[in-house]
Amino acid sequence: MTTHVVATAGHVDHGKSTLIRALTGMEPDRWEEERRRGLTIDLGFAWTTLPSGREVAFVDVPGHGRFIRNALAGLATVPVVCFVVAADEGWSAQSSDHRDAIAALGISHGLIVVTKADRAPDLVAATIARARREFAHTGLRDAPAVAVSAVQGTGLDEFRQVLDDVLAAAPAPDAGGRLRLWIDRSFSVSGAGTVVTGTLVAGTLAKGDRLAVVGDGREPREVVVRALESRDAPADAVRPMNRAAVNLRGVPPEEVGRGQALIAPGAWVMATEVDVRRIGGTALDEAPTQLTVHVGTTAVPARLRSFDAEHARMTLDWPLPLIVGDRLLLRDPARRLVLGGVAVLDPDPPPLLRRGEGGRRRAVLAAMPPEGDVLAKVADRGAVEVDDLRRIGLVGPDAAPPPDVREFSGGWWVHAPAYDAWRDKLRSLVETDAQRDQLTPGVSQGAVRDALGTPAAHFIDRLVADAGLEQHSGHVRLPRPRADLGRAEAGVAKLEARLLANPFLAPLAGDLTALGLGVRELAAAERARRVLRLQGGVVLLPSAPELAVRALAQLPQPFTTSQARQALGTSRRVAIPLLEHLDGRGLTRRIDDEHREVVK
């Protein structure tokens, strides 16, 4: 049966720990000072089995205002809350703080428990009524309520049944989801080493897993899961929802702790800027610019740039693994007040560099659905790897591209209008280059990348084909070499005629100058496959190598350079670079300093 994790909440000394102790028979207060003072200071943990067989673990949070950060670390990692109000004291200061935290975190499953009912039985109904008014505008507006006396044991059976019903209605956790375990404790065990604990909300932990420890402003650290426990029992794997104790190899206990997270490497974007939408509390354009952001078990300083009352950009002091839909609680560190909550719309937003971009971004966010906007993300960048969209939580593993987005090989989604614009720009660029200079080799691939920008650079081959162009020697050009070489055509034609008559009688430099053929004209002729240029300024026809091999094959093998020169009817100036060209193409093979043979 599915396991669950439930957090307590409520004012100090309203009986949260006493209730957990009565339900589970376990002591949730771990510190001797806590037990001595009767005051929960840090998170406590206990577990039990309900009558249905459903297993439930409790995270007992402190109620005192001085320990609100500890309380938030417990509340922010669980989906179900048991909100406690004492009948004899009623709604109190930290009751409101914890209510605000629950509302900010978007918790919508839980129950209200009126404790110490034996002390003020006549106030139970009024206490429940007050609690319902306080929760009227939160996710717990319809939460069931029960009254108990942990000391006398009355109401506990009803509490167990109501909790069972609440958990039955809670959404099933995703055991196949991405792993992100927010760490709430870290300690060392003799003979085992570093152990961290946390609430596993999604994904599955298994022995041997290679994970990364991230957060708290530290460099990511690769670790390996040596062993696992859940509720004091060893396990080969832990699935959600569950408390997990993870024995790690690869990190000392002093370098890992609350506020960090265990994640699957490569599965998350480490976000330092996030665009958010208010879900409750103070309007964002009235909030202070310096805030503390609580998510999971971490509390990170952040700067707020509001776009309007509902939308803002948060810049975190260090990167965190965040996705679309994550709930962040905002707190004023100066006044120690919970200001409200926001939901992440984009954990990887575009930079705002130019004047007016903030206003445009506000309009985009105002129109964005709570689950984010895949089309807007792809359109903004032109092209996005699907894995990047998965890492920020915009799409699932089997998502199909939205309208106006094309799926390309290599795992890319490309905005169709952007792709068409790149193709048209490329065609125009190459045509303009050809019109400006008839002897151009085309536009270099580097110039193409610079002109089209980074996203388009991944698709140069496809863009060239779709634009009706071709690539040659690192350049993009119009298809098919031009037959007419412009002002060089007459000189090249005369050279061709001369070499057709004497294929290996290469012209001297002066002869080429007389024909009006300099380095630039000869390069254009070679690109058009009209001539072949060899070392030393030797210019022949492209057919010369094949003709040479035929002649050399008639010689006794191996042959000398002198014999080759005589067979071809040429000079050493032409014979040596021609033979080296044949060697390079694998048509002949050098035996020693003087001898070669034709490769059969």
Mean of per-residue pLDDT scores for the chain: 89
DSSP H/E element including 547: helix 544-552
- pLDDT of 443 > 50? The answer is yes
Q: Which two tokens stand for residue 511?
A: 């002869």
Q: SS3 letters for 70-95?
A: HHHHHHCCCCEEEEEEECCCCCCHHH
pLDDT for the residue numbered 546: 84
Query: Global pTM?
Result: 0.76
What is the per-residue pLDDT across 262-277, written as a single tens digit (0 to 9) for each?
A: 999 989 999 999 999 9
pLDDT for the residue numbered 28: 59
The CATH number of 373-480, from 1.10.1040.10, 1.10.10.10, 3.40.50.300, 3.30.830.10, is 1.10.10.10
Q: What are the sequence ranges of the domains in the chain?
A: 3-169, 180-263, 270-372, 373-480, 490-598
Q: Which CATH class is domain 180-263?
A: mainly beta
Beta strands in 13-140 (DSSP E): 44-49, 55-60, 80-86, 109-115
What is 3-169's CATH number? Answer: 3.40.50.300
The CATH number of 270-372, from 3.40.50.300, 1.20.1560.10, 2.40.30.10, 2.60.40.420, is 2.40.30.10
- pLDDT of 3 > 60? The answer is yes
Kindly indicate the confidence band of residue 237, based on its pLDDT and cuts at 50, 70 and 90: very high
Q: Tell me if 3-169 shares its fold with 490-598.
A: no
Q: How far apart are CA 113 and CA 82, in angstroms?
A: 7
Q: Which of 79-88, 118-127, 542-551 has the lowest mean pLDDT?
A: 542-551
Higher pLDDT, 412 or 33: 412
What is the per-residue pLDDT across 65-75, written as a single tens digit (0 to 9) for each?
A: 455 677 777 78
> What value does the mean pLDDT take over residues 276-286?
94
* Secondary structure of residue 584 in the 3-state scheme: helix
